[in-house]
Structure 1
Amino acid sequence: MNQRVTIDASRAILIPARHGIAARLRAGQSVSVLNTYGKQVVDTWAFNASDMTEFMSMEHSRAAMLRLTPQIGDTLVTNRRRAILTVVADTTPGVHDTLIAACDIHRYRQLGAVGHHDSCTDNLAAALDALGLAAPETPAPLNLFMNVPVADDGTLRFQPPVSEPGQYITLRADMDLVIVFSACPQDMVPVNDMKPTDAHFLIT
């Protein structure tokens, strides 16, 4: 069932374009991730608040959900196969990604970037550091709003998000956790429609 929540934009927390932010959620709380301008991917990670070596795992979640993209009612699980986040609402067309690794310095060098380029991998580390935490590795993220269609022959394509301004997805915490969001800075392939922008989130 799509348990929609009312988004109070005045209380929403900014995820600055090209940057990341981390927050703590207690079990039972929900977080709504708002695609403020409609075409922004938000890389998302979740870690067990008491043990950072346990984290939301896309490969384990696909096995648990038996689908590539989470839908309302689906539960994402950790690398220890325990429930960590459940999708309770989604006002977007439901197009998200669980396949693509977070962008990093190596990806941008391969794409031809010269010098520093913001990345979701660096954003994860910086956001956690602001809470005095560190991840043991960079897990594959839940790429909210990311549009990577899988063709019948198994090939993938990077396409702009199909979400519209103000649409959101709501996730319920199934354990005490630390959640991290990165407003993806990718501007060399069209996953953000080539224009990275701000996004917002709201904890309820």
Structure 2
Amino acid sequence: MSDESLQLIPARQGVAVELNSGDVVRVLNTHGSQVIDAWAFNAALPAEFMSMEHTRGVLYRLSPRVGDSLYSNRRRPILTLVEDTSPGGHDTLIAACDAKRYRLLGCDHHHDNCAENLARALAGLGVPVPHTPAPLNLFMNIPVAADGTLSSQPPLSKPGDHVALRAEMACIVVFSACPQDMVPINGVGCVPTEAHYRVLRAG
């Protein structure tokens, strides 16, 4: 594999990455406390996308582990988790933040959000997004209590922890450094930070 240079995911923003089948993208939690929303779309047919509900239906657990594939809405593997130096527990339940989410939290002005970051990143490639699929929320700590309730907790990851995802088809992957600063999913103090990624090209 050829190793490309480290690339920036700016704080509160999103980036799109084009992968060929067999390429690996490594996502680095640079400061240890940043949640990264992740999506993947079939490059030839973006209406096929990584689906958290279909993935849970195959894995029969709430969070992927190393060796697990992530499945599309056509029940085909699109990415596979091949490395994870974090404690794991990546969330598959919570929808991407959007303008309405922040209004519900009491924000009365425009707030950066992952749904808009996704749309903007795909628009840069000329790819429309008809709706926002549920993301794989990398490093996001949403424990499930015994009574089934959820809570938003700071990430358990440390600075420099990373995950690596292998493309199982030619796809467009989007990463958003979540701008959430009203609940503590981005650590104590709720300060979003940048993260980084590196692509390892197959062949």
Shift in Å at residue 174 of structure 1?
Answer: 0.2
SS at match of 1:53: coil
**Which of the numbers 117, 140, 150 marks the counterpart of 1:156?**
150
CA RMSD of aligned residues (A): 1.2
- Which ranges of structure 1 fall in alignment gaps of 5 or more residues? none
Give the alignment's TM-score, normalised by structure 1: 0.95
Correspondence for 1:85: 79
Secondary structure of residue in 2 paired with 1:109: helix
Letter aligned with residue 201 of structure 1:
Y
Deviations 1:179-201 (A, max 9, x none): 00000000000000101000011
In the alignment, structure 2 segments of 5+ residues that lack a partner are none
Aligned to 2:63: 69
CA distance in 1, matches of 2:195, 2:183: 19
Write out per-residue CA displacement over residues 60-95 of structure 1, whole angstroms, 9 at most, x where no aligned residue.
000111110000010100000000000101000112
How far 1:126 moved relative to its partner?
Answer: 0.5
| Residue equivalent to 2:198 | 202
**Of 186, 192, 199, which aligns to 1:192?**
186
Q: CA deviation at 1:119?
A: 0.2
Partner Cα distance (1:40, 1:76) in 2: 21
Conserved? CA contact 1:92–1:167, under 8 Å: yes
Is the deviation greater in 103-112 or in 132-141? 132-141
Q: Which residue of 1 aligns with 2:166?
A: 172
Residues in 2 aligned to 1:78 and 1:142: alpha-carbon distance in whole angstroms = 12
Q: Could you say what secondary structure the match of 1:54 adopts? A: coil
| TM-score, L = length of structure 2 | 0.95
Aligned residue type for 2:132: T
State the 4+ residue runs in structure 1 displaced beyond 4 angstroms.
Answer: none
Structure 1 CA distance for aligned equivalents of residues 76 and 7 of structure 2: 28
Deviations 1:112-148 (A, max 9, x none): 1121100000000001111111112100000000000
Which residue number corresponds to residue 124 of structure 2? Answer: 130
The correspondence for 2:99, drawn from 105, 108, 128, is: 105
Superposed CA deviations along residues 139-160 of structure 1, whole A, max 9, x for unmatched, are: 0000000000001110000000
Asked if residue 54 in structure 1 is aligned to residue 61 in structure 2, the reply is no
Partners of 2:147 and 2:6 in 1: how far apart? 41
Q: Distance in 2 between matches of 1:93 and 1:12?
A: 23
Question: How far, CA to CA, are the matches of 1:64 and 1:173 in structure 2?
Answer: 18
Aligned-pair identity (%): 60
Q: Which amino acid aligns with 1:15?
A: I
**Distance of 2:136 and 2:10 partners within structure 1:** 18
Counterpart of 2:194, as a letter, is D
- Is the Cα–Cα contact under 8 Å of residues 148 and 158 in structure 1 kept in the other structure? yes
